[in-house]
Amino acid sequence: MAHMDTSSLGPEENGDNSEGASETSFILPKKPSLTPAQEQKLLEKVEAIDPRVPLYVVILDRTNACRGLLTFGTNYASRYLNKNPAAGKKSVISLVLQLEGESRTWDTELQRKTDHTAIVEGWASFAGGNRLQEGDICLFKLMESEEPLKMMVYIIRAEECT
């Protein structure tokens, strides 16, 4: 496996600052810090996916694993979600989630506000249907040229990182 320099892949404000083509393969929110085992699994998964647009990575906590809300970082949302042609200028955008290797999809709603963008409808169904738990890592891959807006979701289970 090729070594990936993660020094610039830390919190979103550091990992999402390039103007041109993406210099990073994934973007983390501001708060989380990865354990060495999580970082290893994440790097392996990102390398296997080889995204053209950076993946948005969320380490689930009690709030987003058990409640009906998942927030995307402001920089990621403004750069990749809010500029998508399917988004237009609407404050509520249809977003389809699909789990890696599955044909089933979940219809959700992405709500844009001035200070955040979040999946507000349908996330609880997706999380429950896929038995997401605190400590699981979700990688969101924006599917290009898709209408409605669509993201493929890859899951690294917490027990895989122990």
pLDDT tens-digit profile of 45-78? 999 998 988 999 999 988 888 777 899 988 898 8
What is the average pLDDT score of the chain? 80
Count the alpha carbons within 13 Å of 160 in the hemisphere toward its beta carbon.
14
Q: What is the pLDDT of residue 136?
A: 94
Kindly report the CATH number that applies to the domain delimited by 12-161.
Answer: 2.40.330.10
Where the chain has pLDDT below 50, the residues are: 1-22
CB 156 within 8 A of CB 60: no
Q: Is the peptide bond before 36 cis (omega within 30 degrees of 0)?
A: no
Q: What is the pLDDT of residue 112?
A: 85
Strands 55-59 and 137-142: antiparallel
Q: What is the pLDDT of residue 17?
A: 34
Q: What is the pLDDT of residue 116?
A: 81
